[in-house]
Every structure is written in structure tokens, then in C-alpha cells.
């Protein structure tokens, strides 16, 4: 069930407004991840496991620091390591904490066919309610960041909740609380933008002239933002999308196609109904039966033998 | 002669076979699975129809059952299509029939060319259904999350979602037309329920077929 202390802004597969009298007057929330401060210790992964009672299967080393190798239904956040050789020939170790970006315009929510399985709270957090999840995986199809995972145990979709249960009672997310370098911060989105602006100024003064904030407009901004040293090339950071947006194919499928498709199907049926009302049924008359018999008789007269199965009543 | 017309035996002799028992059973399996697929598919297509998922035991069961029922429909459809394909070749008279669609819609058979076992509209529907079924099978496998979706990149899955929705939409509209035509043209339904049509019906609507039968 939706958390009672957080009102709902958007709800999957729902055409009417959700309960939304209580607004987030203090502003949307956001998590700010400063990649320039991250040391790749994975304490955030551990905190996430502990708070959410998740224990992923112990995997195998695939030759890089990423561990586990990918997000799973039991690993909602993951440090992704990239070794980048900059134009000066120096090695930069770019580390990015991957996980749900909590888009303001969430592709998962748009694609989800099950009412209320995905909600967006008034504070901007996008949350999956697994008890309503039907396991179709449309959220994966809709997500521009490749985040949701279907559990093989219960065939429900899982991802980072931004610790909505903690935030609803005034706590910061577990990863934020545990981060030893202060690379992960949490607050109102405005406060996080201000914080980022200071960090970016600092980074620029240290020679990272392309430092900037990753808050992609293509998805309406995100409630998880990055400070990047190379904000001009987000894809350096283990394929972070440069210009993420909900795919036009998803927009077509879950946007205009839905009302138009339903209307066209209803109109097809209505067209049939009114055609019947206007033109009436097409009935076979006695004349048609008589004409068929006359034809049979003529064939019978001219043909070599009486054909099997051709009954002519004139003979009866 | 008019006395004979009221005779039951004579009525029976007035009937000719249009579909064998095997064809009829095959058709109704396809039709039944189509209904199940349309209802469960529409449940996932638009929120206004999600309540249809209740018919299948809820959203998760709808998601689980739909692709399996789809496989049954595809296999039985292929059987039916193979049985009927040879009657659906386009002929020159089909073009003329198409041009006179206004006469078709206004019950003016007298202006139409003689029609074989199937008219041009039925043939068109046949090919539309074949294409849609192929599109639905291929795209359906791609978006079948439990078994196949992880073999495909997300771009392909997105495209397949669109293809699946478009094919299903076209197929549903086509079947609505198909069902309506059966209601509109009296004497048609019995061809699929009892296998027979009256001679008059065949004479009126499929005269070339009738003449061929009685050659």
C-alpha cells in the first residue's frame, strides 16, 4: 500500500487524479551523488542491503571492481567503475553509484499496465508497490536508465525506493546516512542544486572546466542527481545516458495509441451497428432459392449425369 | 412445388456443405482463443479495461496465461489458414468487387461480379489475419518477459511492444468486421455452426462457387 504519510502525484494505469490534496510544500526531494567525492567503498551498497533486508546471491568476480556485476532484484544500487584515459593521457577512475534516478517523468510508470503498481509521491520519489505488480516487465521496457529488475523468486519488479519508508518519517535514505565521504547528500531538490552549484564551482577552479550537474531535462529532471567532473560527456560514466528520455516507441505505445486504439475499436463496432440500422440484414429470399434450383435443373438437363449431392425438387 | 418446399426432407436437400466438422472445430478453437487473447490483451493495453484481468484471475494470471493461449491460437490458426489458403487467391474479379464496395454495403448483389468461395473482402481479411498473426507471434516472443525478453536489447523490445499493439489492434478491428458480416449476411453463421448453407445463400453470395460445385 502507498505510504499514508506521502501523498501521490502519479499512479500507473490510472486515468483519474490520485489523492493529491496534500502537496509537498517544502519542495521535492532529491539525492545528490557527487562522483568527485566518491571513493568506491561500496558502503552505500551495504547500507542498502541492510536497511532493505536484501541479500543477493554471492556471484563470481568478472574481472572488474563492479560487484555484483549488475543491478538485480536483490541489489538496488551498485558502484560502477570506469577507467577513463583523458586527453592528457592520465587515467581517471570514474565511479558512479548506479540505481533508480527517480525521474520526474518516469518511463516505468508510464509503461506499467497495472493500476497503482508504480506511484510517484508528491515529493517526487518513484516507488514500486510489488503487491500490485503483475510481473510483465513493461517498466523495464519503459525505463530510460535500465534500472528495474524482475525477481526470479516472485516475478515482481524491484528497484531503489529512495528509502521512501525512511523519508516518509523524516530520515534520509540509508545510503546517504552511511556514506563516509559525504558524496551522497539528501534534501530538497532546490537545496541539492545549491549544494551542487558550489561543488561545481570548486571543481571548475581545480581544472574540471566541464564539471556540471546531471539533472536531465529529457525526463523532466531527476530526483537523483549527479555532480560529474565531465558533465559534457555523461556516457563516460559507465554509459550514463547523455540525453535520456522516454523512448518515442514507448510514448507511442503508452501514449496516443491507447485512447486512439480504444476509440477506433469502439467505432468499428459502432459502425457495424449503425450499418445494420441503416441498411438492414442481407437476407436470402425464396427467389434466390428458386434461382439456385432453376440453375441446378438447367445443369441437370444439359449435364451428362445427375450430379451427386445436387438435389432437384422437380424430380422428387 | 410449394408444398414440397415446406417438406423437411426437401429443406435438408436444399443444404450444401461449406465447412467440414474438422474445419468448424478448428475455427472455433481459433475463435475462442482469440476472445481470451483480446480480453486479456486489452486488459493490459488500456487502464479502462484492466478490470478484464479479473476474468483471468487477476493481473498476474493474465500476464502468465496470455502468451500460452497465444501459442495455442497461433498453432490452430496456422492449421486453419493452411486448410483455407487455396480458396483465398486473388482473382481479377476481386478487384471489380472491391471497386463496387458501395453496392456490397447496400445489399445490391445484382451489381456485383460472381463471387467464388470467398469474396474479396474475406480474402483481404484472410491476408490481414495471416500478417497480424505472424507479427503477433514474433513480437510476442520478444516481449515474453519470463522466457525470452532477456535475449533481446531494450530497443527491440520497445519496437516489439509497438508491433504487438498495432497487430492486435488491426486484428481486433478485422474480427469485429468479420463477426459483424456474419450477423449482417443472414444464413452465414450456420456455415460455421452446422457446416451447411442453403442453396439460395450460396447462389446469392458465392455464385461462382455454387456453379463450380454443381458443374
pLDDT of residue B9: 53
Task: Provide the Cα torsion B121, B124, B125, B127; round to 10°.
Answer: 160
Q: What is the pLDDT of residues B130-144, one digit of tens each?
A: 999 999 999 999 999
Specify the pLDDT at position B109.
87
A91 backbone dihedrals φ, ψ, rounded to 5°: -90, 130
- CB-based contact B162 A252, cutoff 8 Å: yes
Most confident of A16-25, A196-205, B108-117: A196-205
Express each pLDDT in A129-182 by its tens digit: 999 999 999 999 999 999 999 999 999 999 999 999 999 899 999 999 999 999
User: Which residues of chain B are within 8 Å of residue A250 when distances are taken between CB atoms?
Assistant: 158, 161
Query: Is cis: bond before B96, omega within 30 of 0?
Result: no
Quick check: A93 contacting B, CB < 8 Å? no
Count other C-beta atoms under 10 Å from residue A190's C-beta: 12
Quick check: A241 pLDDT over 90? Answer: yes
Check pLDDT > 50 for residue A304. Answer: no
B176 with A268: Cβ contact below 8 A: yes
Residue A314 above 50 pLDDT?
Answer: no
- Sequence-distant (6+) residues with CB within 8 A of A95 are A35, A38, A39, A40, A79, A80, A81, A82
Per DSSP, the residues of A170-191 read: TPPPHHHHH-TTS-EEEEEHHH
Q: For residues B8 and A44, give the distance between their C-alpha atoms in angstroms, rounded to a whole number.
A: 85
Residue with the three cell numbers 560529474:
A228
Question: How large is the average pLDDT for residues A258-264?
Answer: 92
Residue A227 above 50 pLDDT? yes
Give me the residue from B44, B169, B199 closest to A113, CB to CB.
B44
Residue B195: per-residue pLDDT: 96
Rounded to an integer, the average pLDDT of A28-37 is 97
CA distance A129 to A116: 7
The answer to whether the CB atoms of A279 and B107 lie below 8 A apart is yes
B1: chain A residues, CB-CB within 8 Å: 313-314
Please, are residues A246 and A142 in contact by the beta-carbon 8 Å criterion?
yes
pLDDT confidence of residue A144: 97
Give the strand pairing for A149-150 and A157-158: antiparallel
- In the three-class reduction of DSSP (H, G, I as helix; E, B as strand; rest coil), residue A33 is classed as strand
Which residue is closest to B105 within chain A, CA to CA?
A279
ipTM: 0.88
Confidence of residue A5 (pLDDT cuts 50, 70, 90): low
| Catalytic hit among B27, B46, B164, B178 | B178
Domain boundaries, chain B: 19-213
Could you tell me which residues of A are annotated as the binding site for [4Fe-4S] cluster? 38, 41, 44, 48, 100, 103, 108, 112, 133, 136, 139, 143, 160, 163, 175, 179
Q: Tell me the sheet residues that pair with B16.
A: B197
Q: Does the pLDDT value for residue B172 go beyond 50?
A: yes
Q: What is the pLDDT of residue A302?
A: 59
Interchain pair B203, A138: CB under 8 A: no
Tell me, what's the pLDDT at A25? 80
Using an 8 Å Cβ cutoff, are A14 and A115 in contact? yes
| Spatial separation of the C-alpha atoms in residues B38 and B55, rounded to whole Å | 12
> Residue with C-alpha cell 470467398?
B118
Contacts of B165 in chain A (CB under 8 A): 253, 257, 261
Given a contact cutoff of 8 angstroms between Cβ atoms, the answer to whether A176 and A184 are in contact is: yes
Cβ contact B143–A137 (<8 Å): yes
Question: What DSSP line would sit under A95-153, residue for residue?
Answer: EEEEE---BSS-HHHHH--STTSEEEETTS-EEE-GGG-----HHHHH-TT---EE-TT
- A268 pLDDT band, cuts 50/70/90, is very high
d(CA A283, CA B109): 11
Four-way CATH pick for B19-213: 3.50.50.60, 1.20.950.20, 2.40.170.20, 3.20.20.80: 1.20.950.20
Strand partners, A187: A30
Mean pLDDT of B113-129: 95
Q: Does A313 touch chain B (CB under 8 A)?
A: yes
| A33-71 per-position pLDDT tens digit | 999 999 999 999 999 999 999 999 998 998 999 999 999
pLDDT in the model for residue A2:
57
Residue of A nearest to B207 (CA): A292
- Rounded to whole angstroms, how far apart are CA atoms B145 and A149? 11
Number of Cβ pairs < 8 A linking chain A and chain B: 166
pLDDT at A218: 96
Q: What does the pLDDT read at residue A306?
A: 41
What is the rounded distance in angstroms from the CA atom of residue B146 to the CA atom of residue A283?
50
Q: For residue range A96-119, what is the model confidence (pLDDT) as tens digits?
A: 999 999 999 999 999 999 999 999
* A150, A257, A311 member nearest B165 (Cβ): A257
Mean pLDDT (chain A) is 91
Query: B120-142 and B59-84 helices cross at what angle (nearest 10)?
Result: 140
Q: Shortest CA distance to A273 belongs to which of B35, B106, B122, B180? A: B180
What's the distance, CA B190 to chain centroid?
15
Q: Which triple of cell numbers denotes residue A271?
A: 459502425
Q: Is-contact A129 A111, C-beta < 8 A?
A: no
Q: How confident is the model at residue B11 (pLDDT cuts 50, 70, 90)?
A: low
For A:191-210, CB contacts with B below 8 A are none
SS3 B214: coil
Q: What is the pLDDT of residue A23?
A: 76
- The number of CA neighbours under 13 Å toward the Cβ of B91 is 14
How much is the pLDDT for A315?
33
Which residues numbered 57-116 in B keep a CB inside 8 Å of some CB on A? 58-60, 62-63, 105-107, 109
Q: Give CA–CA dist A282/A291, Å, rounded.
A: 17
Catalytic residue status for B205: no
The rounded distance, in Å, linking the Cα atoms of A19 and A9 is 8
* Minimum-distance CB partner of A264 among B173, B186, B203: B173
Question: Mean pLDDT score of chain B, rounded to an integer?
Answer: 93
According to the model, what pLDDT value does residue A258 have? 87
- A214/A202 Cα distance (integer angstroms): 16
In which band, very low, low, confident or very high, does the pLDDT at A27 lie, cut at 50, 70 and 90? Answer: confident
User: From the CB of residue B89, how many other CB atoms can be counted at a distance below 10 Å?
Assistant: 10
pLDDT of residue A1: 46
C-alpha–C-alpha distance, residues A209 and A203, integer Å: 7
Range from A22-26, A44-48, A240-244, A269-273 carrying the lowest mean pLDDT = A22-26
Contact B105 A257 (CB under 8 A): no
Q: For residues B61-66, give the mean pLDDT.
A: 97
* Average pLDDT, integer, range B72-83: 97
Q: What is the pLDDT of residue A22?
A: 77
3 state DSSP class of A84: strand
Percent of chain A with pLDDT over 90: 82
- Name the β-bridge partners of A92: A84
Count the neighbouring beta carbons within 10 Å of the beta carbon of residue B122.
18
Amino acid at each position: 500500500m502507498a505510504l499514508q504519510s506521502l501523498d501521490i502525484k502519479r499512479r500507473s494505469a490510472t486515468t483519474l487524479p490520485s489523492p493529491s490534496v496534500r502537496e509537498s510544500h517544502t519542495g521535492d526531494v532529491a539525492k545528490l551523488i557527487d562522483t568527485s567525492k566518491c571513493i568506491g567503498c561500496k558502503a552505500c551498497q551495504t547500507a542498502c542491503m541492510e536497511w532493505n533486508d536484501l541479500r543477493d546471491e554471492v556471484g563470481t568476480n568478472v574481472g572488474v571492481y563492479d560487484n555484483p556485476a549488475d543491478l538485480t532484484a536483490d541489489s538496488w544500487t551498485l558502484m560502477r567503475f570506469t577507467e577513463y584515459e583523458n586527453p592528457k593521457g592520465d587515467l581517471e577512475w570514474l565511479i558512479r553509484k548506479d540505481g533508480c534516478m527517480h525521474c520526474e517523468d518516469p518511463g516505468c510508470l508510464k509503461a506499467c499496465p497495472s493500476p497503482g503498481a508504480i506511484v510517484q509521491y508528491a515529493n517526487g520519489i518513484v516507488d514500486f508497490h510489488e503487491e500490485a505488480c503483475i510481473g510483465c516487465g513493461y517498466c523495464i521496457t519503459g525505463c530510460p536508465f535500465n534500472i528495474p529488475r524482475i525477481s526470479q523468486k516472485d516475478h515482481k519488479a524491484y528497484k531503489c525506493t529512495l528509502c521512501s519508508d525512511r523519508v516518509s518519517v523524516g530520515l534520509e535514505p540509508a545510503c546517504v546516512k552511511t556514506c563516509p565521504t559525504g558524496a551522497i547528500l539528501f534534501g530538497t531538490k532546490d537545496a541539492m542544486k545549491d549544494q551542487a552549484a558550489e561543488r561545481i564551482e570548486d571543481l571548475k577552479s581545480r581544472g574540471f572546466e566541464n564539471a556540471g550537474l546531471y539533472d536531465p531535462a529529457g525526463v523532466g529532471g531527476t530526483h537523483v542527481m549527479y555532480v560529474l567532473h565531465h558533465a559534457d560527456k555523461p556516457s563516460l560514466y559507465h554509459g550514463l545516458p547523455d540525453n535520456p528520455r522516454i523512448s518515442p516507441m514507448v510514448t507511442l505505445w503508452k501514449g496516443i495509441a491507447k485512447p486512439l486504439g480504444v476509440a477506433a475499436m469502439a467505432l468499428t463496432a459502432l459502425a457495424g451497428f449503425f450499418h445494420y440500422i441503416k441498411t438492414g440484414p442481407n437476407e436470402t429470399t425464396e427467389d434466390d432459392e428458386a434461382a439456385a434450383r432453376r440453375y441446378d435443373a438447367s445443369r441437370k438437363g444439359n449435364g451428362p449425369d445427375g450430379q451427386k449431392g445436387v438435389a432437384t425438387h422437380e424430380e422428387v | 412445388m410449394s408444398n414440397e418446399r415446406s417438406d423437411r426432407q426437401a429443406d435438408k436437400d436444399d443444404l450444401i456443405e461449406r465447412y467440414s466438422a474438422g474445419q468448424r472445430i478448428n475455427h472455433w478453437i481459433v475463435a475462442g482463443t482469440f476472445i481470451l487473447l483480446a480480453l486479456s490483451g486489452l486488459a493490459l493495453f488500456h487502464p479502462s479495461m484492466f478490470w478484464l484481468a479479473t476474468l483471468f484471475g487477476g493481473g498476474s494470471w493474465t500476464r502468465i496465461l496470455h502468451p500460452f493461449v497465444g501459442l495455442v491460437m497461433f498453432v490452430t490458426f496456422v492449421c486453419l489458414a493452411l486448410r483455407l489458403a487455396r480458396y483465398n487467391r486473388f482473382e481479377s474479379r476481386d478487384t471489380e468487387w472491391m471497386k463496387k464496395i458501395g453496392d456490397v454495403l447496400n445489399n445490391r448483389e445484382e451489381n456485383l461480379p460472381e463471387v467464388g468461395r470467398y469474396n474479396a473482402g474475406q480474402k483481404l481479411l484472410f491476408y490481414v489475419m495471416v500478417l497480424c498473426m505472424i507479427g503477433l507471434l514474433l513480437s510476442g516472443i520478444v516481449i515474453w518477459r519470463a522466457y525470452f525478453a532477456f535475449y533481446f536489447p531494450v530497443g527491440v523490445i520497445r519496437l516489439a511492444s509497438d508491433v504487438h499493439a498495432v497487430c492486435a489492434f488491426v486484428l481486433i478491428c478485422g474480427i469485429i468486421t468479420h463477426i459483424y458480416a456474419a450477423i449482417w449476411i443472414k444464413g452465414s453463421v450456420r456455415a460455421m455452426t452446422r457446416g451447411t448453407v442453403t442453396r439460395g445463400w450460396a447462389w446469392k453470395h458465392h455464385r461462382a462457387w455454387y456453379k463450380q460445385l454443381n458443374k
